[in-house]
């Protein structure tokens, strides 16, 4: 029996990348999972890839009503949640002079407001359940910065600040709050940023290990492959 056996979790951004990998890993450990994603092709693909009978829910994290509904539906179907992980997010590569108001607002709506909507719903739910684990995804660039990512890193830096405050606020309720700041990870969102293979190769060569991280675990207990070819 594992630590996750028969416990219920909610994962956003579960239709691809790190969210999909997390969902698969939790299922492999015997957990029940509410896999939340946008109603699009990626979510349909995830339904065909995942075994372990996750509960699929459609929600846009930028809309608080949908997030609240996803948490309520997850508990109605799976029982009290033991944890929640927010992997939903979008990225953009553009010099600040070429970043439109529309793009800026979109990044804020999804990455920052979306995280707030998730964290608020998770805080209410897990506090009522007597505790649990609340995890949100930031990014290493929130800490080190990179040209062309000003708007994106601003929203993710806000996630880090939000999680620090929330960790102090929810500790008395038994809720552990953490933020993940992964390095460059080979996901569909990353692939969409590259104009061509040459650009990808230059970026990958800049990583000290000479390769991007993978969303999947290298643990042999989870012997599955990435959903997209390298």
We report the CATH number of the domain holding residue 20 as: 3.40.50.720
Q: Is residue 169 within 8 Å of 127, Cβ to Cβ? A: no
pLDDT at position 164 = 96
**Containing structural domain, residue 180:** 8-185
φ/ψ (deg, to 5) at 138: -105, -135
Which residues carry out catalysis? 152
Inside any domain, residue 139: yes
User: What is the value of pTM for the model shown?
Assistant: 0.82
pLDDT at position 230 = 32
C-alpha span between 32 and 109 (Å, rounded)? 29
What six digits make up the tokens of 132? Answer: 């649990």
φ/ψ (deg, to 5) at 166: -70, -35
Q: Is residue 230 within 8 Å of 186, Cβ to Cβ? A: yes
Domain count for the chain = 1
Q: Does residue 178 sit in helix, strand or coil?
A: strand
What six digits make up the tokens of 198? Answer: 């040459």
Q: Is residue 55 within 8 Å of 77, Cβ to Cβ? A: yes
Q: Is residue 15 within 8 Å of 35, Cβ to Cβ? A: yes
Short-list 76, 69, 53, 70, CA closest to 12? 70
pLDDT at position 170 = 98
Q: Does residue 156 sit in helix, strand or coil?
A: helix
How many angstroms separate the Cα of 48 from the Cα of each of 41, 51, 72, 84, 152? 11, 8, 25, 23, 31
Q: Quick one: DSSP state of residue 192?
A: T
Helix 114-128, helix 64-78: angle, nearest 10: 30
Inside any domain, residue 56: yes
> From start to end of 131-180, where are the E strands?
132-137, 175-180
C-alpha span between 221 and 199 (Å, rounded)? 34
Inside any domain, residue 141: yes
Inside any domain, residue 222: no
Beta bridge partner(s), residue 11: 35, 85
User: How would you write the pLDDT of the chain (230 residues) with one tens digit per residue?
Assistant: 678 998 999 999 998 888 888 898 899 899 999 999 998 887 788 787 786 678 999 999 999 999 999 999 999 999 999 999 999 988 888 899 999 999 999 999 999 999 999 999 999 999 999 999 999 998 877 777 777 789 989 999 999 999 999 999 999 999 999 998 776 656 555 555 555 676 556 656 566 666 666 666 554 444 444 433 33
Inside any domain, residue 98: yes
Inside any domain, residue 143: yes
Per the rule left: phi > 0, alpha: psi between -120 and 50, beta: everything else, 6 is left
Inside any domain, residue 162: yes
Inside any domain, residue 217: no
pLDDT at position 187 = 59
């Amino acid at each position: 029996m594992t630590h996750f056996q028969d416990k219920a979790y909610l994962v956003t951004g579960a239709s691809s990348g790190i969210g999909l990998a997390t969902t698969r890993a939790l299922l492999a450990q015997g957990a029940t999972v509410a896999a939340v994603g946008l109603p699009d092709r990626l979510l349909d693909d995830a339904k065909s890839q995942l075994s372990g009978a996750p509960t699929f829910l459609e929600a846009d994290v930028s809309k608080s009503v949908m997030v609240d509904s996803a948490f309520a539906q997850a508990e109605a179907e799976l029982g009290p949640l033991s944890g929640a992980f927010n992997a939903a997010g979008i990225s953009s590569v553009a010099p600040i002079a070429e970043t439109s108001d529309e793009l800026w607002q979109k990044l804020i709506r999804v990455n920052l407001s979306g995280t707030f909507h998730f964290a608020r719903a998770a805080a209410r739910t897990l506090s009522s359940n007597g505790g649990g684990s609340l995890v949100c995804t930031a990014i290493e660039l929130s800490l080190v910065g990179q040209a062309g990512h000003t708007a994106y890193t601003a929203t993710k830096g806000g996630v880090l600040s939000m999680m620090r405050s929330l960790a102090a606020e929810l500790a008395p309720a038994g809720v552990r709050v953490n933020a993940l700041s992964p390095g460059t990870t080979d996901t569909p969102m990353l692939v969409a940023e590259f104009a061509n293979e040459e650009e990808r190769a230059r970026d990958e060569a800049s990583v000290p290990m000479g390769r991007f991280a993978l969303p999947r675990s290298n643990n042999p207990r989870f012997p599955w492959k990435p959903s997209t070819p390298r």
